[in-house]
Homo-oligomer: A and B are copies of this chain.
Amino acid sequence: MLSKILQERIYSLAILLIVVTIVASVIFPNTFPTFENLSQILLNLSTDTIVAVGMMILLISGVFDLSVGSVVAFAGCLTAYVLHFLNLPVPVAVTIGILASVFIGWINGYLIAYQNINPMIQTLAMLGIVRGLALLASGSAIQNLPYWFNAISQSKLLGVQMPVWYMLLTIILFTFLVNKTIFFRRYYYIGGNEKAADLSGIRVKKMKVIAFMLSAGLAGVAGVLLSSRLGAALPTMGRGLELRVITAAILGGASLSGGSGKIPGALLGALFMALIANIMVISRVSGYWQEIILGIILIGTLWADKVLQKRFSKI
């Protein structure tokens, strides 16, 4: 039983998160377990998590995308540009922003799957290109965006800001899709053994392209939400997000070699890092030490995970 739980990263991680939360609540009873703090934590990780879902699907099928951080900025800036300079209605602008992101995903996917260009270089190069485009679109920041656009992220439901709900929606939706639909389950086969998947009648290349489009699309959504939340579109948004997100996904059970990972893992991984950061601030760890301690905790966690697995698989 216990060994089963430890085998599944999302369960072991979930347990760990519960433990951390309880401990933190005991030590910092009147700062940590407050509604404001917890809802704010969720709000702050909503962007990362939405992107992480797309990344998780890519990782399941054995690839990854380094350009998502730039796409976040690009989508936000392009949408803002369309709103501000072309005065198109909000829905249109948002659609344009997201479609443009999907298109970027298509380019990555096509060149990687059909022209088999190395994914690492392809998406790294795209990172630079798209960041540049974001800059060209926005010049500096684009300000005073229409009320209805800002409303997307700034309005609240049950006292919690919308991005949190969008995030949860994304998680639930894709958890369902990946567990229950044949279409998405194919990604496990592709990640498991590409050639075998092909010989079993799975159109591997097409599926990969779709995965890239999907993950870029989600990055686009995240970008729109973020700039709506900021009430401005900054070309500097989403810097270094790609590595944060990949880390979250891997923490959540994915692996660069593909075939493994579950959607909720994306949320749990991001949540874990956010909690640690939050607790460090609450316990007054100074800036210099934060990275060091976060790093040590990350490694320590994975290490403990392995050790426990060994221990209990014996039983």
Interface residues of A (CB under 8 A from B): 66, 111, 115-118, 120-122, 124-129, 131-133, 135-136, 243, 246-247, 250-251, 255-256, 288-292, 294-296, 298-299, 302-303, 306-307
| CB contact between A125 and one of B124, B294, B307 (< 8 Å): that residue | B294
Q: Is the interface of A mostly helix, strand, loop or mixed?
A: helix
Given contacts A296-B125, A303-B111, contact A246 B132 (CB under 8 A): no
Contact at B120–A256, with CB atoms within 8 Å?
A: yes
Taking the nearest CB of chain B, how far is it from the CB of A39, in angstroms? 27
Contact at B251–A121, with CB atoms within 8 Å?
A: yes
Given contacts A128-B292, A306-B116, contact A298 B247 (CB under 8 A): no
Contact at A136–B288, with CB atoms within 8 Å?
A: yes
Residue of B nearest to A251 (CB): B121
Contact at B129–A295, with CB atoms within 8 Å?
A: yes
Contact at B129–A302, with CB atoms within 8 Å?
A: no
List of B residues within 8 angstroms of A298 by Cβ: 121, 124-125
Given contacts A243-B124, A247-B124, A256-B256, contact A117 B291 (CB under 8 A): no
Taking the nearest CB of chain B, how far is it from the CB of A121, in angstroms? 5
